[in-house]
Structure 1
């Protein structure tokens, strides 16, 4: 029996569910007020120096490339490796126009086939919630970072706030699930989104998880707008090497 992903779809079925909905994904996220702006805000919170020249960045769970574009908005001259477990989502990403220093790799976060560090920063948007063993994978991502490297997790998290929980339930019931079902003819992925967020870490627990994985200076911040308290950026840093 497959482990469930946050009381949603079985974890092994999540990539194929995204495969089935990849053609609609950009249209649906585009209808979400603040979706791309909040990704850019989380990318900005990585605190990358300059225009990214000389930096290697990893976009973990890139989907159709929205998070990759957010990284480019703050580091337009960086070399970016972006990976995802869904081949159809990657096909959507690859079909877009990108600078020559952006590459897309088809692999899971568990395998990381074709992903080689060291990187200066990792950006993981909406990834950790769908991992079977987040602690192990966060440690593996830390191992891909150079000393002093940074990570930013961009994720839904509502367990720490009753207001956020009520808002999330209301928006899923009245907008996300009906819109997803109307657009694609199948609400399973959107019910999974709703349920997996309900069962996922609160922002404080996610920050503690990042600290347990070996990151220092862990910080948490939310986003403005109606998603305040619902979408969070959790950042951390790998310790510098001592002489």
Structure 2
């Protein structure tokens, strides 16, 4: 079994892309939590005239959540995994959606430039080798005062929540990943990466250190309470 690290995550997602939608669909509340996170952007007027960056779009689940929250927005959806993007592109999308293959660290080289009226990053920041430069770049891509929402596993500083996460991963997520892909590596990485990542308070503080204002967080419900969080911050009103 290959060990997945933040530096090799795109390749691991390439391999896991064919079964990815099936596996996340087995997670109760996954899509509902994504849709709630996208609504936290609070884009007015159904997103009419807004330009939104979906950073780490994967197979398009976050893109679909954005379009449900803001159906008239222009969406630039970016992912580092060619396999995940290929799966996303096979789905039906309005002409306002553009998919771009790029690492989050290389947006400018890929032609992804601001300003954006909102940025959405679902299950991305935890997978970055060095989150801080990317967060600062995201802040600079935003129009003044525009919102950034990060939605991710960021476990509360709680032995109980960490134990629940471990139990769910080893009883459900990792066996299901093996059954679908015959490879546990991506799913054992998922388990480990959430335990190693910032707890919810630390990630809130990381956003503040990287220049986001008005930062606040909320937790998903159900078994994900205290495990999956949505964080909202804004670019400064003036630079």
Question: Normalised by the size of structure 2, how large is the TM-score?
Answer: 0.96
In structure 2, the residue matched to 1:125 is: 122
| Contact 1:159 1:198 (C-alpha < 8 Å) held by counterparts | no
Secondary structure at the counterpart of residue 171 of structure 1? helix
| Contact 1:107 1:114 (C-alpha < 8 Å) held by counterparts | no
Q: How does 1:103-182 map to 2 (within 5 A)?
A: 103-112=98-107, 113-182=110-179
Deviations 1:127-175 (A, max 9, x none): 0011111111000011110001110000001241222111101001100
Pairwise CA distance, 1:11: 2.4
Instruction: Give me the whole-angstrom Cα distance separating, in 2, the residues matched to 1:237 and 1:159.
Output: 22
In structure 2, the residue matched to 1:4 is: none
2:74 to 63, 70, 79: 79
The answer to whether 1:223 aligns with 2:220 is yes
The answer to whether 1:207 aligns with 2:204 is yes
Deviations 1:22-69 (A, max 9, x none): 010000001111110000001111121120001000000000000000
5+ residue gaps, structure 2, are none
Instruction: Give me the whole-angstrom Cα distance separating, in 1, the residues matched to 2:71 and 2:204.
Output: 28
In structure 1, the residue matched to 2:6 is: 11
The answer to whether 1:28 aligns with 2:16 is no
In structure 1, the residue matched to 2:57 is: 62
Instruction: Give me the whole-angstrom Cα distance separating, in 1, the residues matched to 2:229 and 2:179.
Output: 28
| Contact 1:48 1:75 (C-alpha < 8 Å) held by counterparts | yes
Secondary structure at the counterpart of residue 165 of structure 1? helix
The answer to whether 1:101 aligns with 2:96 is yes
| Contact 2:56 2:122 (C-alpha < 8 Å) held by counterparts | yes
Which consecutive aligned stretches of 4+ in structure 1 deviate over 4 angstroms post-superposition? none
Secondary structure at the counterpart of residue 110 of structure 1? helix
Deviations 1:163-221 (A, max 9, x none): 21111010011000011011110000000000011100001100111111100000010
In structure 2, the residue matched to 1:3 is: none
5+ residue gaps, structure 1, are 1-7
In structure 2, the residue matched to 1:184 is: 181
Pairwise CA distance, 1:20: 0.4
